[in-house]
Amino acid sequence: MLPVFGLALKMLEPTVLVPQHFDEFYPGFAPLGDLETLREFLAREYPQIKMVIPPPGVPFTIQTNQ
C-alpha cells in the first residue's frame, strides 16, 4: 500500500500528514495501520512531511503559513 500512498503524497505535496482511522474504527474492514512503517517511509521518501498523531478525541490545530 505504501507505493500507492507515496504516489498520492507526490501528487498532493502536503507538509503535514495526520493519519486517520489507523485503529479499529472499522473492524474487519480496515486493518490496523502500522504507523512505525509509515513513519519510516516518510523519513526515507518524504522527509519534508511532518506526521502528527493527535491523541484520540482531543481537538488540535495545525498552523499554516498560507
Q: What is the DSSP string of 13-59?
A: --SEE---S-SSSSTTTSPPP-HHHHHHHHHHH-TTPEE--PPTT--
Q: What is the model's pLDDT at position 34? A: 75
What's the CA gap between 33 and 26, in Å, rounded?
Answer: 12
**8-57 pLDDT per residue, tens:** 999 999 999 988 765 555 565 555 567 888 899 999 999 999 998 888 78
Q: What is the model's pLDDT at position 12? A: 95
Taking Cα atoms as reference points, which of 61, 47, 54, 60 lies closest to residue 22? Answer: 54
The domains of the chain are located at 2-51
**Whether this model's pTM surpasses 0.75:** no
